[in-house]
Chain A
Amino acid sequence: MTSHPSSGGADPGAQPQRTALAWLRTAMALAGGCALLVRVAEPKGALDDALTVLLLLSGLGAVACADARHRQVLRHPPDAGHRRSPPAFLVAGLSAATTVAGFAALLLLL
């Protein structure tokens, strides 16, 4: 059973800060994981080099997106009429970047 959440101006408390910090933690984890993979992998050809570049760009992109979302969440109060949910393309992009990092790890290490 789920109670219907009101869309009114309930005080979100510290949740925007927690969400902003969660974005930063996730981006740091992705960037760190990509850096670790680049460090331990031994590129053997053009495909491996391309994957390495893709991983580095993914890590940097994740940090940039997290910074943008971090500022968006903290800047706009909930009753200011601004978008509250993150853009779907941002969520999909981060999910895709993480999944690609996993496949890249398989390809580079096996």
Chain B
Amino acid sequence: MTAMFRRTKKRLRDIGTEPDYRFSLANERTFLAYLRTALGLFVAGIAVLELVDISGSSAYDTLLGVSLLALGILTSATSYRRWRAAEEAMRRASPLPYSPVPRLLAAALTGVTVATVVAVLLR
């Protein structure tokens, strides 16, 4: 019974072999880039909620600010998992895993931008 609850996740250092230093550093920088993207979205959300009046409608500005913060939270929350999956793949010499986050982020930001342009033009 207790075996069901025993932690089965291996330590990273116990998986496969040490990857090429250059690829490991590149993976690390990609992780940090995801976090900086999330922080940029946070700052944009804070600016919309507190500092600027985008559309003249407080309801839309609140929706826009919350959307930007939510996108940032999604980006930062998935960053560790993506880093670890890529690190494990490199250690096992298997293909890097696919991540839907960049596509989702691009689609969401495009939608937010179009909606904001429309809101500003209708102001």
Contact = CB atoms under 8 A, between A and B. Distances in A.
A99 to B, nearest CB: 5
Nearest to A16: B25
Given A5-B90, A22-B33, A92-B80, A15 B22 contact: yes
> Chain B: interface secondary structure?
helix
Interface residues of B, number: 50
A26 B35 contact: yes
A88 to B, nearest CB: 5
A106 B75 CA distance: 15
A contact face: mostly helix, strand, loop, or mixed: helix
Interface of A: 1-2, 4-8, 10, 12-13, 15-16, 18-19, 22-23, 25-26, 29-30, 33, 36-37, 40-41, 73, 78, 83-86, 88, 91-92, 94-96, 98-99, 101-103, 105-106, 109-110
Interface of B: 11-13, 17-26, 28-29, 31-33, 35-36, 38-40, 42-43, 45-46, 49-51, 62, 65-66, 69-70, 72-73, 76-77, 79-80, 83-84, 87, 89-90, 93-96
